[in-house]
Amino acid sequence: MIGIGLLGLGTVGAGVVEILNKRQEELKALTGKDIEIKKVLVKDINKKREIDLGENIITSDFEEIINHEDISIIVELTGDLEQSYRYIKRALNSGRDVVTANKAVVSKHFEELSSSAAEKNLGFLYEASVGGGIPILKPLQEALTLNNITVVQGILNGTCNYILTKMFYEGLDYGEVLKTAQELGYAEADPTADVEGYDTLRKLRILGTLALQGEIREEDILLEGISKITAFDIEQIKKMKSTVKLIGEAKELDEGFTAVVQPTIIKEDSYFANVNMAFNSVVFSGDNVGELKFYGSGAGKLPTANAVLSDVVDIIMGSYIKRNPLGERKLKNLNTRIKGEYYLRISSPIEEILKNIESISKELLSTNDNIALRTKEIEYIEIIKLLSSLGVHRDKYFLARILE
């Protein structure tokens, strides 16, 4: 029998319980063992829940879980950062394998927790932290055995993708779509982590560090979110026969790397253009396997719970990479070399700004209520420096790279 200590009984935790209850026979046939939730950690043990877990299963005391002799796997689904870090660290120190869906804790403590698990010959798996229901981390790690991975990129946040899709196809403005997304549960009451790109950044930090086998920290990634996009921008992008997505990309370059999360304008017939609504996709390229594409639900109760339980099964079966999956390459941050053509809109049609901005313009799209242009090929950092020198506040412009 395999005993599980489940930390958190929110949406994903409830999904884990639901799938376990439905698939007990199949799981036993595969693993040869019964899988049983022994304890569940919650904040409020008196809260009414529709899930029946039996007597004495729910607790608000982590000590009851960490000291439980029959629990061998800790499944951490609290969503908290610092508390979850302490839970995971104690679980590993006590000799338990750990599965988590918490991208924030994996991103912030990636090297430490990966090293700790490897030293203790324990599993530390986090498939659900990056792609929700998309199996991406295990295939990526397996591909690394036979390939050098030179680039990984993806649409990694369902909230942003939903907002951009609705704006593009329905002609709605950002605030209107965000409100709908919040009502439907796609966006949080405070959507900052999603719309400003931090969620995508954390996922790219994990993907990029694994793919390039060298540490890419959160602060190494250039970041632009989608909160400044307007219906006007969408109209200009449509005229280019293109659409726009928030794409994270980490790429190897001359013994270094570039890493960026940024609104990206892509042709309507390109691959990522067909990844719509709350769906996600990840693409990586290896020198032997070529390009591999992964598509599916990036979030949701059952898809994410499915990824969590796939990690649990891998631990039980021993079918995961036992060594520390993080490489030891020392890669130089070469983000200053990022260059290309960009779409730039400034909501301050001042004569002086227009005069100075024309020097980087390849095509002027509008000079009326907004200045909008397509730039010449230029380094990203040069655009930011120019905007800063002109006193253009971040709230007054929208910037997106253009990929042909």
Domains and CATH numbers, the chain: 2-126 (3.40.50.720), 137-297+328-333 (3.30.360.10), 338-403 (3.30.70)
Looking at residue 117, its pLDDT comes to: 98
- 9 annotated binding-site participant: yes
Q: Which pLDDT score is estimated for 325?
A: 95
Taking residues 262-267, what's their average pLDDT?
A: 98
State yes or no: pLDDT of 404 exceeds 90.
Answer: no
Asked if residue 369 has pLDDT above 80, the reply is yes
Name the least confident of 15-24, 47-56, 150-159: 47-56
Query: Annotated binding residue at 188?
Result: yes
The DSSP code for 12 is: H
The answer, yes or no, to whether residue 365 has pLDDT greater than 80, is yes
Residue-wise pLDDT tens digits, 42-52: 999 888 888 87
SS3 69: coil
The pLDDT, as a whole number, for residue 351 is 85
Average pLDDT of the segment spanning 304-327 = 96
The answer, yes or no, to whether residue 311 has pLDDT greater than 90, is yes
Q: Tell me the pLDDT tens digit for each residue of 177-233.
A: 999 999 988 889 999 999 999 999 999 999 999 999 999 999 999 999 999 999 999
- Between the CA atoms of 3, 12, 274 and 364, what dihedral angle is there, to the nearest 10 degrees? -130
If DSSP codes are grouped into helix, strand and coil, which group holds residue 330? Answer: coil
Residues 375 and 397: beta-carbon distance below 8 Å: no
CB 151: neighbour CB atoms within 10 A? 19
320, 326, 329, 335 alpha-carbon torsion, rounded to 10°: 120
Q: What angle do CA 381, 379, 257 make, to 5 degrees?
A: 85
Confirm whether residue 289 is marked as ligand binding. Answer: no
Q: Inform me whether the pLDDT recorded for 349 exceeds 80.
A: no
The pLDDT value recorded for residue 185 is: 84
The answer to whether residue 383 scores a pLDDT higher than 90 is yes
Give the pLDDT mean for 332-342.
Answer: 97
260 is in an annotated binding site: no
* Long-range contacts at 346-354 (CB < 8 A, ≥ 24 apart): 346/370, 346/371, 346/372, 346/387, 346/392, 346/396, 346/397, 347/396, 347/397, 348/392, 348/396, 352/390, 353/390, 353/392
- pLDDT digits 0-9 by tens, 62-96: 999 999 999 999 999 998 899 999 999 999 999 99
The answer on pLDDT for 279 being more than 80 is: yes
Averaged confidence pLDDT in the chain: 96
The pLDDT of residue 368: 87
User: CA–CA separation, 170 vs 337, rounded Å?
Assistant: 36
Residues annotated catalytic, as ranges: 203
Give the model's confidence band at 350: pLDDT under 50 very low, under 70 low, under 90 confident, else very high.
Answer: confident
Confidence bin at 348 (pLDDT 50/70/90):
confident
Q: What is the pLDDT of residue 285?
A: 94
315: enclosing H helix or E strand:
helix 301-317
pLDDT bin (cut points 50, 70, 90) of residue 53 is: confident
Residue 398 has pLDDT above 90, yes or no: yes
Considering the chain, what percentage of its residues have pLDDT values greater than 90? Answer: 90
Cβ count near 404 (within 10 Å): 10
- From CA 344, how far away is CA 357, in angstroms rounded? 10
Please give the pLDDT value at position 52: 78
Whether the CB-CB separation of 244 and 164 falls below 8 Å is answered with yes
**Is it the case that residue 153 has pLDDT exceeding 90?**
yes
pLDDT score at 255: 85
Q: Quick count: other Cβ atoms within 10 Å of Cβ 65?
A: 24
| Contact by Cβ (8 Å): 375, 341 | yes
Task: Please determine, for residue 352, whether its predicted confidence score (pLDDT) is greater than 90.
Answer: no
Helices assigned H by DSSP within 213-272: 231-239
341 is in an annotated binding site: no
Residue 11 assigned ligand-binding role: yes
Q: What percent of the chain has pLDDT above 70?
A: 100
Was 228 annotated as part of a binding site? no
Q: Is residue 365 marked as binding?
A: no
Is residue 163 a contact partner of residue 264, using CB atoms and an 8 Å limit? no
pTM over 0.85, yes/no? yes
